[in-house]
Amino acid sequence: MKFEVTILGSSSSTPIFNRNPSAQLLNINEKFILIDCGEATQNQLLHFGLKANRIDHIFISHLHGDHYLGLVGLLSSLHLNGRTKPMDIFGPPELIEIIDLQFKHSQTNLRYPINFNVTNSTVSEKLFESFDVVVESFPLDHRIPCTGFRFTEKQRLRKMIKEKIDELSIPADQVQKIKKGENFTDKKGKIHLSEDLTTEADHPKSYAYCSDTICSWKYLDYIRNSDTLYHEATFLHDMHARAEETFHTTALQAAEVALKANAGKLIIGHFSARYRELEPLLAEAKTLFPNTFLAIEGLTFEI
């Protein structure tokens, strides 16, 4: 089972020091989900050799430009490159107005349908469910309506006991079925129970994404026990007054959130343009939560 996230943008507000505004690409068993879409996200996808047309779901946290200004360009390029399959977009209600207005004035009739799904920034909701994943939104506390997202794998498959494959000459095409719970009948007609051929599945992993927010414990329940937590950390803690004033979080606060939420791993991002070097932000977060990583463009993290 593949469940990993690639950082496409880690800058707050403006592109700077080769950092692009927020965007992340989630790969769940080779199904691609885009989270936020700052300006030039399509350039980043190109740059890292990631095929934009494999994205079928886009989640936009809020309508500050650094989180969505790349969306119309991306949708437009997919159209020009011949996409026909639908795109599901989840975001604040005004987002579809912004998309529609621009395609209206460019007189573009997209070759593929957009299924737009309105997010609610006041309550947590289940937004989407597929064979692989459940996506929920939850309220964050920013200057304008803003939601976080939590991506949780569906039940993982049980794990095959490798020795059994040789012992019972189990054909390769039977392995997935056995892992899913089917029993196996050997050549002599003897039935072997799935649970005897496999061990417990790993617990389903989850990824929580907290884009712009003031640090608070209000959203703690929604991100609790996430295997990987992405949390904005716009400032160092000596700027905590500025962070509060602008409804942002410091690296130390992001670490405190990760600790309280019992997250497995913390990725910090959305770095202010005032920081050319990011190591001090990492060091600060690690004082409270050692398993912290910097969101660096092009890095891929296993959830």
Q: Give the residue with the Cβ less far from a second copy, 70 or 139.
A: 70
Q: Looking at the DSSP assignment, which residues form a beta bridge with residue 232? A: 269
Q: Which residues are catalytic?
A: 66
- Asked if 15 is part of the footprint of a second copy (rule: CB under 8 A), the reply reads yes
Residues 6 or more apart whose CB falls under 8 angstroms from that of 101 comprise: none
CB of 43 to a second copy, least distance (A): 5
Name the DSSP letter for residue 44: H
Q: Give the residue with the Cβ less far from a second copy, 109 or 169.
A: 109
- Asked if 40 is part of the footprint of a second copy (rule: CB under 8 A), the reply reads yes
- Asked if 64 is part of the footprint of a second copy (rule: CB under 8 A), the reply reads yes
- Asked if 162 is part of the footprint of a second copy (rule: CB under 8 A), the reply reads no
- Looking up tokens 């039977």 gives 174
- Asked if 239 is part of the footprint of a second copy (rule: CB under 8 A), the reply reads no
Q: Which of 4, 13, 56, 301 binds a second copy (CB under 8 A)?
A: 13
Q: Looking at the DSSP assignment, which residues form a beta bridge with residue 117? A: 90
User: DSSP string covering 161-214, please?
Assistant: -HHHHHHTT--HHHHHHHHHT--EE-TTS-EE-HHHHEEPPPPPPEEEEE-S--
Region from 64-72, 152-160, 196-204, 210-218 binding a second copy, contact rule CB under 8 A: 64-72
Instruction: Report whether 149 contacts 209 (CB < 8 A).
Output: yes
- Asked if 36 is part of the footprint of a second copy (rule: CB under 8 A), the reply reads no
**Could you tell me where the DSSP H helices lie in 48-185?**
71-80, 94-105, 162-167, 172-180
- Ramachandran category for residue 37: left, alpha or beta (phi over 0 → left; psi -120 to 50 → alpha): beta
Q: Give the residue with the Cβ less far from a second copy, 12 or 152.
A: 12
CB of 64 to a second copy, least distance (A): 5
CB of 94 to a second copy, least distance (A): 4
Task: Work out the angle at residue 36's Cα, subtended by the Cα atoms of residues 94 and 300, and round it to the nearest 5 degrees.
Answer: 170
CB of 116 to a second copy, least distance (A): 15
Residues at the interface with a second copy (CB under 8 A): 13-16, 20, 39-40, 42-43, 46, 63-66, 69-70, 72-73, 76-77, 80-81, 92, 94-95, 97-98, 101-102, 105-108, 143-144
